[in-house]
Structure 1
Amino acid sequence: MAAGAAALAVAVAGCGTSSSGSDSGSGDGKTLTVWLMDGSAPAALTDALHKEFQDAHPGVTVKYEVQKWGGIQEKLTTALTSNTPPDVIELGNTQTAKFAAEETLEDLSGDVSALGGDQWLAGLKDSLTWDGKSYGMPFYASNRTVIYRTDLFEAAGITAAPTTRDEWVAAIEKLKAANAADPDFQALYLPGQSWYALLSFIWDEGGDVAKQDGSAWTGALDTPQAKAGLDFYKKLVDVSGTKAPKDTDEATPQQMEVFGTGKVGMMIGLPWELAGAVKANPDLASKTAAFPIPSKTAGKTAPVFLGGSNLAIPAGSQNTDLAKDYLKLLSSKKYQDMLAEGGSVPGTSTDTAKLATNPVGKALAESAPNGKVTPTTPTWAAVEAGQNPLKDMLTAYLTGAKSLDQATGDANAALTKTLAG
């Protein structure tokens, strides 16, 4: 899910097929082709959804096709420009602006209310808005929380999860002191290039990575707020004594594998990363919990990147009305609750009661309303897919290769150039 929001690669092998003819919104032997991504929706949800939809639309068959994230952008590009695109597609929320700008998605501005728009989280709504219009509906999201070892907290005398940055730093110091005899112990595992975590600190300072002027975007990494966010990141690295490489992100090595060794007190991660650690080390199942990334301001949580997916209707769909009915059904509380039960932040419902039934889900539910997304511009994909200036900036500053001003200035220039296309 994280990768889906973050860096969606894409490529194709054939297009989905829709039935030809005018769209009356009813049966007549029509086929509604739906592309969802691997791992996005549990089979129990899609089985129930498709049965209910077909029962309500006699004569209509849902052709459900599960796609792989690898190569999906090229596959979508090919499919959306064909004469027979699928009728409903799932897009990573950092991808949506690209296809909206290419005019290959249906404008759903007039359908927002029917799709539960009054319940959409602000960050998710931003991700599907292009040029003032809405080109889809949120499907699901997830965000990073601080995953921690409850037993190690207790042994170190930490009686409550941190709720501010200062409390977080204090907890790190207590964990270090309590485990000083173990040279392999890391109070916080924090890779040098975890730029999604950096976003939280920049946003918490009131800054951003880029700013918009009309249709143009320019970098904002050289602002005092962005510098303060980067400086706090370095503080965490320094105080924790993390052994993570400073020139790679959380995927190299996989931080869930490091956490699974049992030698780590905390990591900033996603639910699936905790699941991976527990799979490798089942003893962790009863010894882990999570809390929202703390803010510098008491009583608040830090803003978090909402990684996830949107659902859209291709502009070339020959079954637009049926596709809208499909989205309306999926946006209903019944299916949004099923997404929450599966551990995702529901896209079209602010009711997270089903999500907050365990400590990790509770942390997700608490922080999601304060979620944000990366700049909604087609050129952002090139930032993530190329030589990411935020990663370069982090490594340069953390290793001492560049000063704070030099690292942020160089990264800002590179970011502005990339955003200009």
Structure 2
Amino acid sequence: MKRWTKAMVGVASIALVTAGCAGSGGTDPGSDAGTDEQRTLTVWLMDGSAPETLTTALHEEFEKANENVTVKYEIQEWNGIQDKLTTALASQEPPDIIELGNTQAPAFAAEGVLTDLTGDIDALNGGQWLDSLKASGEWDGKQFSTPFYAANREVLYRTDMFEQAGITATPTSRQEWLDAIAKLEAKFGSSKTFQPLYLPGQNWYALLSFIYDEGGDIAEKDGTTFTATMTSPEAKAGLEFYKQLVEASGTTAPKDNDEQNPEQAGIFGQGEVAMMIGLPWEVDTATKDKPELKEKISAFPIPSKNAGETAPVFQGGSNLAIPVNSANADLAKDYLKLMLSDKYQGMLAEGGMVPGASTDLSALEKNAVSKAMADASKNGRSVPATPTWATIEAGQNPLKDMLTAYLTGSKSLDQATKDASTALDAAFSAS
């Protein structure tokens, strides 16, 4: 499934065609545009984001409620979308609704090419928005995009291996997690290819859970300014626990690469790994060649250091926005109201995603893998909502460099975190 995890390049500076275009954002909701006028609402959603059953039903309902309106629905590919959006948002005829990766949203908001939705939050089901995606849609005290959907990582595990190792309950604390690793190693460790936990050295998404769990963060915010906090005691404690997991598991995963290089789901699917930290749909990837393994895979939330709690998780996802030059801002807001309603957010949950604007997660509780994601999603966090984050993530990510340096011993904990903070601060201040 093609999601926001595709690498995003930096946002080029966008020059609006005329200064007057950066005003209220198209037709006002109360305008007297003739009701008999035929209008077209252009919607850009990304490939794999919304099930066809959802979009078909939504567009039929929307067109029925707006007699002279036609929805022009166009599915976009993640590959190349940054440049395509940059060009479209600078034009006089952009689409009326766009989907943005949540790490892209701050950059476009800061460029002034998205409609200010601050006054529409309540009407757009704002009381049920995911905090993490809401934060990613904010810039300079205003709301420029709404949550759409999200997902977060969990611990995928082999139920048969747990049973054979005498693990009768899934871990609900870090210590229980470490104890489970020890039991798995004792049972299966005679095999040189066995790994209790496959954990690549640069899985910074997992690292964030440990840092958040310690009470730390990547950076602190002051207005629109961000300052890295990787040298804080909390961030260092999170990094130390990451190293503890790596050493306890004896993982053979590379310390200088991430979960995609090599693809961890493929390694998990070979049958000699008991756990990995991943996303729900990685189960399908892992069992593509061995479908019989699927019934032996379940999941639990990343445990907290506090017994009985789940660790906070990084939530990736997508937002929805209205370009400032949309000629149909009134219709676009009505479209957002429908998309963000309980009905269609529920359909997103049925498709396996955490709905961005609904607290009803019952559809995700039908199987253990999606339930674990739903349980953890209640404690979701986002990366710093800065225009430069997409470039940081797609480039020489300082968090990855920090992990590799510390895990390999090429740098001490203090030096690795100091260098990461310095690199992040430089990136945050880049224009």
Q: Smaller-chain TM-score range?
A: over 0.9
Task: Read off the aligned partner of 1:121 and give its amino acid letter.
Answer: L
- The one of 318, 321, 327 equivalent to 1:318 is 327
1:257–1:280 contact (8 Å) kept in structure 2: no
1:6 deviation in Å?
6.9
Where does structure 1 lack aligned partners over 5 or more consecutive residues?
A: 13-19
Equivalent-residue separation in structure 1 for 2:61 and 2:330 (angstroms):
17
Are positions 1:346 and 2:346 aligned together? no
TM-score, with length taken from structure 2: 0.93
Equivalent-residue separation in structure 2 for 1:307 and 1:8 (angstroms):
13
Equivalent-residue separation in structure 1 for 2:235 and 2:11 (angstroms):
35
Are positions 1:104 and 2:104 aligned together? no
Structural mapping, 1:159-198, within 5 Å: 159-198=168-207
- Give the alignment's Cα RMSD to 1 decimal: 1.7
Please state whether the residue corresponding to 1:289 is helix, strand or coil: strand
Structural mapping, 1:13-412, within 5 Å: 24=33, 26=35, 28-412=37-421
1:215 deviation in Å?
2.5
Question: 1:226-261 CA distances to partner (integer Å, 9 max, x unpaired)?
Answer: 000000000000000001011110010111101110
Question: 1:359-393 CA distances to partner (integer Å, 9 max, x unpaired)?
Answer: 01111111111000000110112211221100000
Equivalent-residue separation in structure 1 for 2:278 and 2:115 (angstroms):
34
1:278 deviation in Å?
2.0
Equivalent-residue separation in structure 1 for 2:128 and 2:262 (angstroms):
38
Equivalent-residue separation in structure 2 for 1:3 and 1:124 (angstroms):
15
Please state whether the residue corresponding to 2:378 is helix, strand or coil: helix
Equivalent-residue separation in structure 2 for 1:111 and 1:349 (angstroms):
17
Question: 1:192-249 CA distances to partner (integer Å, 9 max, x unpaired)?
Answer: 0000100000010001111123322111111111000000000000000001011110
1:8 deviation in Å?
2.8
1:11–1:75 contact (8 Å) kept in structure 2: no
Change (3 A) 1:7 1:50: same
1:11 deviation in Å?
9.6
Please state whether the residue corresponding to 1:268 is helix, strand or coil: strand
Please state whether the residue corresponding to 1:308 is helix, strand or coil: strand
1:25–1:321 contact (8 Å) kept in structure 2: no
1:91–1:310 contact (8 Å) kept in structure 2: yes
Please state whether the residue corresponding to 2:364 is helix, strand or coil: coil
Equivalent-residue separation in structure 1 for 2:117 and 2:34 (angstroms):
16
Aligned to 1:15: none
1:11–1:71 contact (8 Å) kept in structure 2: no
Question: 1:320-362 CA distances to partner (integer Å, 9 max, x unpaired)?
Answer: 0100111111111111111001100001101100111100111
Change (3 A) 1:254 1:221: same
1:7 deviation in Å?
3.6
1:164–1:294 contact (8 Å) kept in structure 2: yes
Task: Read off the aligned partner of 2:423 and give its amino acid letter.
Answer: A
Task: Read off the aligned partner of 2:334 and give its amino acid letter.
Answer: D
TM-score, with length taken from structure 1: 0.95
